[in-house]
Structure 1
Amino acid sequence: MGLQVAVAGASGYAGGEVLRLLAGHPELEVTAATAYEQAGKRLGEVHPQLVTLAELVLQETTVDALAGADLVFLALPHGQSAALAAKLPEQTAIVDLGADFRLTDAAAWARYYGGTYAGSWTYGLPELPGQRQLIAGAKRVANTGCYAVASILALAPLIAAGIAEPDDVVIVAASGTSGAGRSAKPHLLGSEVMGDLSPYKIGAHQHVAEIKQASKAASVSMTPVLAPMPRGILSTVTVKPTKTTKAQDVREVLQAAYGDEPFVHVLPEGQMPHTAATFGSNSAHLQAGVDIDSGRLIVTSAIDNLGKGAAGQAVQNANIVLGLDETTGLPINGVAP
C-alpha cells in the first residue's frame, strides 16, 4: 500500500485528470474522491475513461471524507478551497488547484477575484529559482494557474537575466475550452466554439496578478483567446529588450534556466511549439525569437492546460512534498495525432 491521497472536486475536468494520473502512479493510492452534485455516483459514470477507478463511489465533499489521507488535492472552484482547507488536520498535506492561496498581495486578490482574501501558500512552480526547495518543505502548496504557468515559464528567465524590460509585457494566449471548467455554459457548446476564435476578459484576466508576482514583471497586458479545442494553451509573450538581443541570446537564457528540468523543453532552433505535442503530458515546450521590425523579444510556450497547467503540475508538487521523485507517475511525452 502506497501513500494515501484524496481528491476533492473529482467530478470536474481537473479533478478527473488528477485521478487519471494517480491511477498510474506507483507510490500513491486513491482512497477517496469527492464531489458535490455528482456525489453518490460511481466514478465510471462521471469519468468513463477511468476504467481502473470506475467502481470508486464519489463521496460528499466533507472533512471526514478527506481527513484520513496523507495528501489531499483540492480541485474546487475558485474561492471554495479556503474554508475546507482550514478544517483539515494540520498534518494533512494539501495541493490546491484553485486560486485561493496563489497571491501574496491582498489588494491584487481584491482587484482580480474579489471576496475574502485567504492568505498565501507556497507557490507551486518548481522550475522557478529556489522554489523546489520551498515546496519540499511545505505542507500547503498553491498550484499554478494554467495561463500563468505557460506565460511565467516563458517570461521569468528573461527578466531575471536582465535582457527584458519588466514594464511592458504583452501576452496573447489561446486556451482550449476545458480551461473554463465542466459546468454547462451556452458559449462553450460545441456548435458555438467550433470554427471560431474569440477573446475574453481582455485587460482583466485574473492570471495577470499571478504572472506579475512570479515573473517580477511590472506591467502585463494580456489577451486570452478561446480556441476550438478541448485542451491546450499556446502563449505568446513579447517584451522590450534592454539592449539589442538576438534570438540565440534568448534561447541561451532559456536553456540556462531549464537545461536540467525534466518537464520544460526549449525546442531546437526553427521548431515551433504545438499544443498537440504536449497533449496528455506534464511538459512545456518553448521557443524564442526576435521581431525584425520592433526588436521585441518573443517567446512562445505550449502546454496542456490540464497537464502542466493543472493536474500534472499538482501531482509534480505532491511528489515533491511527499519526498518522491518529482517525475513519478507523470508523462513527459505527449500524445499525437
Structure 2
Amino acid sequence: MSSPTISVRIQAMRFEAQGVVSVELRAPEGGELPPFEAGAHVDLHLPNGIVRSYSLSNPPTERHRYVVGVLNDRNSRGGSRYVHEQLRVGATIAISAPRNNFPLDESAAHSVLIAGGIGITPISCMYGRLGRQGKSVELFYCARSRKEAAFTAELLGQPGVSSHFDDEAGAPPDLRGFLASRPKDAHFYCCGPTPMLNAFESICEELGLPNVHIERFAAEKVAPVQSGSYVAELARSKTSVTVPAGKSLLDALLDAGVNVDHSCREGVCGACETRVLEGELDHRDGVLSKSERAAGKSMMVCVSGCKGQRLVLDI
C-alpha cells in the first residue's frame, strides 16, 4: 500500500538563492501538523504525478508549518522543475508524514555538520536545534558560489559557522584537512551532492571516524535493473514470491497481493525499508550508509534486489 498522505496548502514561496526556493506548507484549515525531528523529510506528491522527498529546514518546535528548500535541478526529471515553474501559493497538495533517515544524536559531546549546496536544508535545522539546546556544534557550509547558497543571511556569522565558496577560493574545499582537525569522537553529518558524500565517506573511513552520518539526494543507481530472477521468501507470511528479471521487488510483492508501505519508488524516501533475514543484497538506494549496507539487515524494496537465488524478508 502507498503511504498515507496529508493535505497541505502552499502558504508561501520564497527566493532563497540562485535556483533555490523555499516552500512553506500549512494545514488548509490551520492547526498543527504531525511532529518531526531535525533531519526529517517529507514526500511531496506533486500534481504532475511525481513524488519527491525534501528535507525540512524549519525548527521542529514549529508545529504549524513545514518549510522545505528546493533546488531547480539541471537534470530534473519533472520534480524540482514543476515546483519552480508551476507550483503556486494557494495550491493544495498531498504530502507524506515526516520520516527521518538522517537522525540527529543530541547526546553527542560535539557535532560537526557539513553541507554542500542544497544539503543545507536538513543541516540548518540540525544546527538550530543543537544551538537552542546549548550543545557544542559547528557548521561548515560549502557551495560553488555565494549566490547559489541558500539561508546565508541567517547562518553566516553565527557561532561555529564557517563557509567555503569554490569560485572565491579557487578550489574545492579541503574536506580531508577539515575532518582530520576535528575531535575523533565527534558526530559527523554530511548532506550534499553525490561526489561530496562519496569523498566524505571515504575520508571518514580512512581517518577511522566512528560516528558518521550522511543523507543523499538520490539513489546512486536509479533504475531497478535485475539481470536474473530470484525467490523472495516471506518469513511471517510463510509464502514466497518469484521476482522475474527486469522487475522490482516492490512490484513483485504488490502484484502478489502483499501490502508494502512505499512512496517515492526511487530509493530515497525510506518508506519501503524492509528487514532482511537472509540473502545477498544488491543495494541501489540512497538511504543506507556503507556500514548499514554491509550489515545486510534491511533494504529498500523499491529499487534494491538480490544477487543470489533466494532472499528471506521479515514480512
- TM-score, with structure 2 as normaliser: 0.32
Instruction: Select the structure that is richer in strand.
Output: 2
Q: Identify the structure with bigger relative contact order (alpha carbons < 8 Å, sequence gap 6+).
A: 1
